[in-house]
Chain A
Amino acid sequence: MNEEIIIAGFGGQGVLLMGKIMAYAAMMQNLEVSWMPSYGPEMRGGTANVTVVISSERISSPIVNSYDTAILLNQQSLDKFENSVKTEGILLYDPNGISRHPERKDIRIFQVSAASEAAKMLTTKTFNMIVLGAYLKINSLISLENVIKGIGDSLPERHHHLIPVNIEAVKRGMEIVKKINS
């Protein structure tokens, strides 16, 4: 088993943390993991992406140029990475703010309206957890239980009161994700 994932979006969307929780949960399942962020001078509003590799074997390269799963959370990322998804691979995106939607026919495309759902939950900070929930629904590789552990261990002590709302968000994501091509 070898799953190569890219998550890309704006800085501040929680892209890096989402990847970290995925890697953490996979690690709890005794899988090998690597988490390689893009890092740059941009903080909020800049572009951010992270490559997560989950494997049953020792991971060779943490940097890859084609992905089993691409989670793309703004137009720029969609334009940049749509063609990097392997044939039969998965593309998950949030249609909010997207004018040019993915067009490939040889991959499986999923939508999660995480931004509007997060607004409904009255805290936009749950955005990334809703997306994560969508991924969990699509790919059963990592379990909800381990993701919940990952949330608990990744959030600093001062944010622990936010754990329940984040778990709620993951579950919402699992419910609202939808496949948009056959």
Chain B
Amino acid sequence: MEKENLRLDEIIREENIVFHKTSLLTDKVFSYCPGCGHGVVHRVIMEIIEELGIQSDTIGISPVGCSVFAYDFMNIDMQQAAHGRAPAVATGIKRCWPEKYVFTYQGDGDLAAIGTSETIHACNRGENIAIFFINNGIYGMTGGQMAPTTLSGMKSSTTPYGRDTMLMGNPIKMTELVATLPGTYFVTRQAVHTALYVRKFKKAARMAFENQKLKKGLSFIEVVSNCNSGWKMSPLQANRWMEENMLAFYPPGDIKINGELIKKT
């Protein structure tokens, strides 16, 4: 009964803390929709940079898309790139600062449509950078239009009757595609909708930064995520739909480790 009389400052004590926000996230409230994966991915990347102690050597690149203002939340030096051009921008930075850590943060429209060329060539040159590719199968920021990764039959504001692959082509698997290029060193697909997936993603994200020291090529991490607003679902429904449909087409797991393909693409 005496617990009820505890004041707040008596509860918030070091020994009671089970989770704390990394200092590499700013205090700005996320502008992302509740249930969106961006917040978790942001946090995990910042945690890794904090744990590796490389804040003063890390430069991030934000894309065009929902995460265009990633630099509002990430407390690191950042540069905002034109739509799809992040891998080229990262190339320019990394070539000038070869000892620093450089990563891009891109969505599926950015990386797999308008920026396909920059993505493939940065991967093929084996730039020593990390690419984080958030795939939610839709253009979120502009209001839910079809993305290159939109599943067959999936509805969007530009495929209101579902994606007809005869008319609109097939969903593209960028991760499998770049894994075939000799310049990629680590290629994996992850998700962040459950604690278990988050832990796996964090391991992969750590590897993406550690790999940069080896100078053996590019690390490419896809994170399959949901866009509950664009998909017109509740967060819970969206995650369930994602598990059943997105993960079935885009199966999570490592594809290439230490420059070796470990999964047939």
Chain A in direct contact with chain B (Cβ < 8 angstroms): no
Residues of B within 8 A of A (CB): none
